[in-house]
Every structure is written in structure tokens, then in C-alpha cells.
Amino acid sequence: MNKIHPKITRFLFQALQYLIRGGILTALFSAVFVEQDLFFPFTSSKGFLFLAAVQFTFVFWLLLIILDEAYRPKRNLVSIALLSLLLSMTLSTLTSQDVNRGIWSTYERTSGLIVQAHLFVFFLMLSSFLRQQRDWRQFFTASISIASVVSAAGLLDHFGNNSLVELLTKSAHWPHGVNGVVRPGATFGNTSFMGSYLQINAFFSIYLFLTVKGKSKLAIAIIFIMISSAIFLNPGGRAVKATYLCGLFVVVLTKILTRTNSPRVRKIVLGSLFVSVPAAVVLGVLISFSHDVLPVEIRNVKGYTERAINWNAAATGFFEKPFVGWGPENYDLMFYQNFDPAILVGSGRSIGEPWFDRAHNIIFDTLVATGVIGFAAYFLALVGAVIMLTRRLAQNGRESLNEYIVFTVLLLCHFVQNLTVFDMLSSSLLLYAAYAFTSHRSLEMESLYDGKRRFELGNRFLILSWVFSIPSIVIAYYYCVYIPRVGAKAVGALEGVPNNSDILRRFQFASNSSSMGKHEVRFRLAEVAMARLRSTNNAETGLLKLTELNYVLGELEKSVAVSPLNVRIASTEGRLRANAAVWSFENLGEKDRPDLSALDYVNTSIPVYKKIIEMCDNHVLTYHDLSRALVYKGYITGELSFFKDALDIAERAVELEPRLFASHDLTIDIAASLLGDKRLASEKFESALKIDKSWRASLIRRIREAE
């Protein structure tokens, strides 16, 4: 059997060690990485760097496990559960309506099947490569050091100094801020995502503080204070703050319990733990299924009502596809099919277009995406991690006490927190790292570093397999990272392009460059095309911009054909056609001879809205859009009957959700200004006031404008 000289063995081993550690560090560094000119730079930047880092590291890790069986992954409860979760996600993706989106995800989320597969590989690499406690301490130290930079940026921003945020994000203004105002959330652009990321790192720092000795304790304590301060001073992330505070309470009580000799103190602490921990978990789960367990004051917290309605829709959607679910990244399709117009009811006259692509609840998110099969795998991973920590505690005693306390609390806090929010990539990779730590085992096999063992090259087939795997990794990088990143740059560069021929070319390149986020890219193109058309009233320039708009309409039709339940895309197509109709009617004459007339545009918008209503008959905003399209048709044709049809549709919207001001406003506007029926407008006015008297001034103003 062929063997390598010990010196070459040592050199090769050290080289692989440094390369793999460098790749892992790069993956951690993605938390502070923002590439300013990408589409959704706060998420897509991190996703591309993480994917590239895992692919790079995988090449050298694969060679290491081929050459030395000591580094090969070991089967355990957690690895089986996470593999089962990945397989269930694969099955759910392949059976979903929008397979492409399930595989690739979007630039905004970067959490599709490809990313989940990379997270599983990341877990395997960590759990097999980081074998000793010192390896894990180095990993946690690197992670909390990066988190301290995020914390510093968040704290400075809280006190009015956003210089570090701007430095780290390289002034990523879209969608970083509006009118020069920096978005909170440091390098995440979102306070909840930043809080979730910092919470896991806070527990890492607690573990390090409890296990290291010497001068490094002070540095770790400082980092812990920084991270904790950033969590509690974070303008958002209410769930993170609450669960983190409870987690700290449990850790402190548990440490008191293990150190005190007083029977009375031990009884008090044990009683507190046995009551508080199960109560927190049970309460969190109950809130997901029955909102009446909370007092009215909490139910009235901003954002809670919408999420509660969303959870009800998720429960209905789960029972429609209970076994394999709707598929990853297909949540919004379920949401629209089970749309509840009550979610539109805001305070006063406010209305926002609801768009939920997540349940904001880990139970419902997993059940809807992967069904009971995927949820069972997810729950097994969580329980399996706690079981393995318990086994290690039973075997090693007090030596493993700190990791048992900290990581059990970490996993529970993260689970409870995710009953109201959801993970993004940076927190997901840390969660998988925590799983890897709970499942790793210090192998007794002799270390290669001392040179006593040699790499054996007897299995030439494995070596050749590794050689041929390199082109596969290059191809994976090209399609999973390089091409999507090119697409993200193309979409991010669409703003402020004055040349019409150039913008059409850019539209074509952006929509065809990558399979990632197809629908969202087309939605963005529609926004740009609509804004560009509205910006001119010149017929010649407008005709060129109509050419751009027509191209985007063709792209939107492709998305609707692939994903008919995607109401957001379908309604965008309808609005784009309706806006083109209005602009053409107001700015073009017979001499201009456009390819499509104003009447053509409005006629093609109406079937789009009707098809949406056939699939999602409770989507009130589509009734508004259809009513306005009929109004436009009435303007263009001069036929009063279309105004009457528009009123009928608006009245249907009122019936679906009487508490929505916009529906009443629309019916009164049509009755008063278009039909000129003062008596009918007065009846609609009185009906509206029976719902909410605070609307009086606004509705009177609407009637007076009509007069």
C-alpha cells in the first residue's frame, strides 16, 4: 500500500487545515459583508459569499476525509434529522407549484433548497473537522469577534453615529435607506435579523466566558456586554429581547443551582426552573394556535394582529397539504389562496398591500413548507441535540455542564423566539453550527499532526473521484454564485439609466441572466417600467417606453404561467396594463399609432384581475384594481355602463371587509363623481359612518371634490 513521507504528510495536513479554517472563517465573515450594487444587497451579498465559501472549503474537506477516516462525518441523531429535513425539503420542492423558486429562492431571502443543501454540508464540515474543544473555542471566538463589529455598528447607530454602518455597507442605499436615512439593523438592514444573529453569538460568548481561563476572560466579557447592549438597545427585535432575557435568567439560575450547597436555595431555584422553562415554551406554542391566551394589551402590539391572521391562514394551508407541504419559498401562494381580507384593516384610513412569504412562526413555516414529514425532522434535530448534550453530561459530568446549560438554553430560546419571527442565512448558519457542536465527538484516533500516522493512498478510485469533483465544484460556483450575482448586479443597476435603447437591453439581460428570484426581478422591472412611463408626457419618448413596458408584460406573463397563484405578480401585470391604458389615453393620438391602443391595454387588464378573483375570491385589493380598470374603460369608451360595473365590484369589496376605508372611499367616489348620483353617494356615506365615524371628514371631502 502506497504511503506518503511523514514530512509531506505533515505539510499536506497543515495546508488542508489552514485552507478549511479559512473557508469556515469566510463563511462567518458573511455576516458583515454587503456589496452595495446588488439587488437586495443585505441578503444577496451574504448568500453569495456563504455559498462560495462552502464550495471552496468542500473541495479541501473532501480531500481530507478521503485521505484520513478520522475526519469523516459520524452518524448521529442530529445528522440523521438534518439529512431527513433536507430530503423532505427536496421532496416538497419537487412537488410544489413553483419548483424553480423552491430551488433558487429569491435575492431577498436566499434560503431555497440550494442554500439548505450548503447549510447541511457546512454542518457536516464543522461537526467532523472541529473535533476538539480548542477547535470549537477558536470557532466561537471568531464568530463573536465578528458579532462585536456588528454590535458596535448597531450601538453607534443607536446613538446617532452611522459612520461604521456606512463603512461596512459601503453606503448601500437601495434598499438601505430612503432620502439618505440609514436603515437600522447595521449590516443586516433589518433589526429582527440582526437581533437573532446577535442572540446566538451572545450565548457563544457566555459559553466561552464559562470555559476559558486567563486574560481572555476579560476580552470575552467586554464582547458579551457589547453584544447584549446591542440586543437590548436594538430598536426592533422584541421577541429576541424577551427570549434572551429569559435565557440569561435560566443560565444564572442553573449556575446558582450547580454551585450552592444550601438545600433551601436549591429548592427555590429548581422550582423556578421547573415552572418558568416549560411555561415559556408551552405559552409560545399556545400563542401560535390560540391568540386569546394573551391579554388585549399584547394582542394590540403593532404587527401582532396581522401575524395572528397570517397564522390562521397558515393553519388552513397546512391542512390542505399536510404531508409534504406547499414547498420551500412557496408560502405566499398558500397565503393568497387562503387570503383573509381582515389583514388589510389598519388604523384609521391606512392600507398596505399585504405580502407574507413567511408565517413568522417556525411551527407554521415548517409545516406549510414541508408538511408533517419535514416538521418531524426539524423537531427531531432540536430534541436530538438536547439528547446528545444530556448524554455527554452523563458521561463527562461537570466537565460538560457548561455546554449543556448554555446550548440547551440557546436552542430553546431560538425556538421560542422563532414563534414570532424567522431565520435568515446568518442566523441559520450559526444555528447549524450549534447543532454541529452538540453532535461532534472528540475522536480518539491518533492526530495526523504529530506525523506518526501517514496518509494512505491505496484507494486510487477515491483520489481520482476527488480530482474529478473539482470541475463539478467550479460548475456549481458558476451557476449558484457567479450567474445569480451577475443578475443581482444587473437589477441593482437599473436606476437612473436615461438611454431608452440601453434600458431595454438591461431589462432583457436582468430577466434572463439567472434563475434566481425570477418573479421578484420581473416585479422590479415592472416598477421601473411604470415609473419611466409616468415620468413623461411626450408621445415620441413615451412610445419608446411603451416598448420597454410591453417587454416587461411578456416577462410577467411567463411568471403567471409558471405560478398562477402568485397574486402579487399577476396583479402587477394587471396594474401595468391599466397604467399603460391611462397614459396612452391621455398622451397619444391616432397619428401616433401605438402597437396597442389604450382600449387594448385596459381590455387585457380586466381578464387578469378576473382570473385572480377566480382563484382568490377574498383578495379585496384585486376588486379595487378591477373596479378602477372598469372606470378607465368607461373613460376611454365614454360608456356609463362600465362605471356601474365598477361600482358593483367596489360594493363587493365592501361586503368582503366592511372595515376597510379604501373600499367605501372607492364606492362613494364612483357614485358621486362618475355616476353623479348624489342620493346613492349619500347612502354609501351613511353606511360607511356606521362602520367607523372617524371617516366622516375624509368622506365629506371626497363628496365635495366630486361636486
Burial of 472 by CB count in 10 Å (0-12 exposed, 13-18 middle, 19+ buried)?
Answer: exposed
Residues 668, 647: contact at Cβ < 8 Å? Answer: no
Question: What pLDDT sits at residue 173?
Answer: 44
Question: What pLDDT sits at residue 276?
Answer: 64
Q: Write out pLDDT tens, residues 508-563.
A: 888 888 889 899 999 999 999 898 888 888 887 888 888 889 999 999 999 999 99
Q: Which of 308, 299, 312, 430 is nearest to 28 (CA)?
A: 430
Burial of 424 by CB count in 10 Å (0-12 exposed, 13-18 middle, 19+ buried)?
Answer: buried
The DSSP secondary structure of 375-399, one letter per residue, reads: HHHHHHHHHHHHHHHHHHHHHHGGG
Distances (CA, A) of 62 to 129, 203, 473: 11, 31, 11
Identify whether 235 is preceded by a cis peptide bond (ω within 30 of 0): no
More confident residue, 398 or 188: 188
Question: What pLDDT sits at residue 456?
Answer: 53
| Structural domain spans, the chain | 74-445
Q: Write out pLDDT tens, residues 154-205.
A: 999 888 888 888 888 764 444 434 334 457 788 998 999 999 999 999 999 9
Q: Write out pLDDT tens, residues 316-373.
A: 999 999 999 999 999 999 999 999 998 888 644 446 557 889 999 999 999 999 999 9
Residue whose cell numbers read 453584544? 227
Q: How many CA atoms lie within 13 A of 529 on its CB side?
A: 33
Spatial distance between the Cα atoms of 365 and 381, rounded to a whole number of angstroms:
16
Q: To 10 degrees, the CA torsion angle through 161, 164, 170, 173?
A: -30
User: Which residues, other chains included, contact 662 with Cβ-Cβ below 8 Å and sequence gap of 6+?
Assistant: 344, 349, 351, 624
Strand partners, 3: 456
End-to-end CA distance of the chain: 97
Q: Write out pLDDT tens, residues 666-686.
A: 999 999 988 888 899 999 999
Lowest mean pLDDT, pick from 414-428, 468-482, 649-663: 468-482
Of the ranges 264-273, 278-287, 425-434, 471-480, which is most confident? 425-434
How many CB atoms are located within 10 Å of the residue 295 CB? 8
Residue 125 predicted with pLDDT over 50: yes
In the chain, the percentage of residues whose pLDDT exceeds 70 is 83
User: Which residues, other chains included, contact 270 with Cβ-Cβ below 8 Å and sequence gap of 6+?
Assistant: 257
Q: Write out pLDDT tens, residues 214-243.
A: 888 999 999 999 999 999 999 888 889 988
Axis crossing angle, helix 6-29 with helix 113-129, rounded to the nearest 10: 140
What is the rounded average pLDDT for all residues in the chain? 85
In the chain, the percentage of residues whose pLDDT exceeds 90 is 53
